[in-house]
């Protein structure tokens, strides 16, 4: 396996090319996405045990189908799409997406000292509390946009809906979220 | 499953060959089949709609209401169901392509329906039914003959004119 510091400069798409030649390079993909996928799923679910299973299945499916990855698309959108599908499958199986446990998010704070960042984190925690009340599809779009900082185009690729539809759904979600937050506060 | 084991577990499965990457040709073949499936489903739907237009083509003149009644009484409803199934399978294949969700879904659906109807009218004008009646595969000729036996006016007309 190549030196880790060299690999830092490689894009995900370049890593994918390397994985095709050397399967052990898939570890780099896991390093880059394991935490991000877990956080994303944590916003949507509350069962930590199941989250590990979903993330593992996501990586397995990504590896098995790596040759189907379209390089015109962003790799992060592609892998988030797989995680989304896995989560939906579980939802269908056992109505898994129960309301969130707010306490789960307490440990998610980063070690940022800047006052503005702390304020942002506080806002985020408040929003997370309100997210609990949103339905799954609205919650997911808010998480992707605000927490995962995905663009409309990327969200469109992950959820397989048109970009205009992303805008419409996000607006609706924001309105609902605002209403919920006002009620809570 | 404990934390930090996801990477180990996935890499173990990769190394032991428990999971294997599907080859590129597998996906290329899948795409080709999807394209054929998509085109085939829509052409088939257009052909069936053409058949429905052919059956329902009005023949004004004496006893028109009676003729229409006869057409509707003997109408093979299963071809309507078949066209619906074919349309659904076409949409299933369409959804496999990235462009399907990048466009407005109601717009895509409208374009599909309009193009199927236009193709069906085109098939009808082209005289494809007459061709199938005369030189089509056996099951098609049998279908047209059955329609004639049921005395559907359009088929009777074809019988007298064509044969």
**What's the rounded Cα separation, in Å, for the pair A50 and B121?**
54
CB contact under 8 A, A26 and B105: no
Q: What is the pLDDT of residues A11-50, one digit of tens each?
A: 999 999 999 888 889 999 999 999 999 989 888 876 777 8
Q: What is the mean pLDDT of chain A?
A: 81
Angle at A17 between CA A26 and CA B3, to 5 degrees: 15
The minimum CA-CA distance between B89 and chain A, rounded to whole Å, is: 19
CB contact under 8 A, A55 and B105: no
What pLDDT score was predicted for residue A119?
55
CB contact under 8 A, B14 and A23: yes
CB contact under 8 A, B11 and A26: yes
What pLDDT score was predicted for residue B161?
47
CA atoms A25, A27, A32, A37: torsion sign? positive
- Residues of chain A contacting B9 with CB distance shorter than 8 Å: 56
What pLDDT score was predicted for residue A82?
94
CB contact under 8 A, B10 and A56: yes
Identity of the residue in B3, B11, B27 whose CB atom sits nearest the CB atom of A27: B11
The minimum CA-CA distance between B100 and chain A, rounded to whole Å, is: 9
Provide the CB-side half-sphere exposure for B117 (13 A, CA).
Answer: 6
List the single residue in B with minimal CA-CA distance to A60. Answer: B10
**Which of these ranges, A6-15, A99-108, B151-160, has the smallest mean pLDDT?**
A99-108
Q: Do A15 and A7 form a contact (C-beta atoms < 8 A)?
A: yes
Can you tell me the ipTM of this complex?
0.74
Q: What is the pLDDT of residues B56-77, one digit of tens each?
A: 776 666 666 666 677 777 777 8
Identity of the residue in A55, A64, A68 whose CB atom sits nearest the CB atom of B6: A55
CB contact under 8 A, B24 and A156: no
**What's the rounded Cα separation, in Å, for the pair A159 and A162?**
9
What pLDDT score was predicted for residue A120?
67
The top-scoring range by mean pLDDT among A21-25, A117-121, A144-148, B114-118 is B114-118
Q: Can you tell me whether residue B163 is helix, strand or coil?
A: coil
Angle at B46 between CA B41 and CA B49, to 5 degrees: 125
Query: Consecutive sets of 10 residues in chain B, 163 residues long: mean pLDDT of each?
Result: 75 92 91 90 90 74 68 77 88 79 81 92 87 82 74 56 45
The top-scoring range by mean pLDDT among A115-119, A179-183, B3-7 is A179-183
Provide the CB-side half-sphere exposure for B78 (13 A, CA).
Answer: 1
Chain A residues in contact with chain B using a Cβ-Cβ cutoff of 8 Å: 20, 23-24, 26-27, 30-31, 34, 49, 52-53, 55-56, 59-60, 63-68, 70, 73, 156-157, 160-165
The minimum CA-CA distance between B50 and chain A, rounded to whole Å, is: 32
């Amino acid at each position: 396996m190549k030196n880790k510091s060299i690999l830092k400069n490689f894009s995900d798409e370049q890593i994918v090319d390397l994985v095709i030649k050397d399967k052990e390079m898939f570890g780099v993909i896991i390093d880059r996405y394991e935490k991000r996928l877990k956080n994303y799923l944590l916003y949507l679910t509350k069962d930590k045990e199941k989250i590990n299973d979903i993330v593992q299945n996501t990586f397995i499916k990504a590896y098995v189908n790596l040759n189907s990855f379209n390089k015109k698309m962003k790799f992060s959108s592609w892998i988030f799409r797989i995680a989304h599908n896995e989560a939906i499958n579980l939802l269908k199986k056992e109505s898994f997406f129960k309301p969130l446990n707010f306490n789960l998010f307490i440990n998610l704070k980063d070690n940022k000292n800047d006052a503005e960042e702390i304020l942002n984190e506080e806002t985020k925690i408040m929003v997370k509390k309100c997210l609990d009340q949103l339905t799954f599809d609205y919650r997911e779009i808010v998480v992707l946009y605000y927490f995962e900082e995905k663009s409309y185009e990327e969200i469109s690729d992950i959820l397989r809906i048109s970009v205009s539809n992303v805008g419409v759904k996000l607006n609706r979600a924001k309105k609902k979220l605002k209403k919920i937050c006002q009620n809570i506060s | 499953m404990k934390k930090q084991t996801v990477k180990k577990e996935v890499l173990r499965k990769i190394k032991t060959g428990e999971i294997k990457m599907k080859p590129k040709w597998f996906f290329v073949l899948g795409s080709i089949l999807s394209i054929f499936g998509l085109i085939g489903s829509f052409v088939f739907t257009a052909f069936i709609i053409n058949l429905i237009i052919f059956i329902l083509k009005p023949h004004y003149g004496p006893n028109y209401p009676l003729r229409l009644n006869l057409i509707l009484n003997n109408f093979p409803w299963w071809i309507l169901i078949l066209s619906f199934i074919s349309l659904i399978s076409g949409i299933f294949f369409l959804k496999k392509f990235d462009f399907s969700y990048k466009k407005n879904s109601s717009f895509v659906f409208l374009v599909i329906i309009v193009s199927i109807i236009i193709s069906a009218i085109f098939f009808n004008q082209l005289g494809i039914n007459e061709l199938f009646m005369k030189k089509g595969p056996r099951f098609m000729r049998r279908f047209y003959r059955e329609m004639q036996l049921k005395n559907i006016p359009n088929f009777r007309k074809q019988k007298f004119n064509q044969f």
